[in-house]
């Protein structure tokens, strides 16, 4: 199932094949997952997104594993099954242990629980949390 054709290596244009090659080299695996093959129907978006993703997920003030855990957390909150599967696999490839996975699930489940309670109680934001007291 998909709303667009899945682009195989054979059907890919030279431009798309070049991006696929960069995905393979960057990730150190020959496997291109179907998200990229579907996005390849829109080469501009494919190129832009992959370039940005490489920058976003590179080591910086946060390490790559922490970034990947954040990605999984957002994907869970968004109920995106594909995203949960692909980024959980990516987190494992970057060293996530079973214990870390367990704690990730626990933090996300706790956040879902308190997010709901906060909304249910309708409490306005405490003034002490404001970082823009003058101009905001």
Provide the minimum distance between the beta carbon of 47 and a second copy in the complex, in angstroms, as a whole number.
12
- Measured from the CB atom, the residue of 2 and 21 that comes closer to a second copy is 2
- Measured from the CB atom, the residue of 21 and 111 that comes closer to a second copy is 111
Distances (CA, A) of 1 to 6, 18, 34, 35, 121: 9, 26, 11, 12, 41
**Centroid of chain to Cα 135:** 33
Provide the minimum distance between the beta carbon of 25 and a second copy in the complex, in angstroms, as a whole number.
18
Which candidate, 35, 44, 36, 42, places its Cα nearest to that of 20? 36
- Measured from the CB atom, the residue of 21 and 105 that comes closer to a second copy is 105
Provide the minimum distance between the beta carbon of 23 and a second copy in the complex, in angstroms, as a whole number.
13
d(CA 105, CA 86): 16
- Measured from the CB atom, the residue of 18 and 112 that comes closer to a second copy is 112
Provide the minimum distance between the beta carbon of 37 and a second copy in the complex, in angstroms, as a whole number.
7
């Amino acid at each position: 199932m998909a709303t667009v054709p899945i682009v195989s290596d054979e059907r890919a244009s030279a431009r798309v094949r070049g991006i696929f090659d960069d995905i393979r080299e960057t990730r150190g695996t020959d496997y291109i997952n179907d998200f990229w093959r579907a996005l390849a129907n829109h080469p501009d978006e494919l190129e832009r997104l992959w370039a940005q993703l490489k920058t976003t997920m590179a080591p910086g003030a946060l390490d790559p594993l922490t970034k990947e855990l954040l990605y999984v957390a957002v994907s869970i909150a968004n109920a995106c099954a594909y995203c949960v599967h692909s980024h959980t696999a990516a987190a494992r490839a970057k060293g996530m242990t079973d214990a870390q996975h367990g704690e990730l699930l626990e933090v996300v489940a706790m956040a879902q629980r308190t997010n709901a309670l906060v909304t249910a109680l309708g409490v306005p934001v405490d003034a002490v949390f404001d970082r823009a007291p003058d101009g905001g």
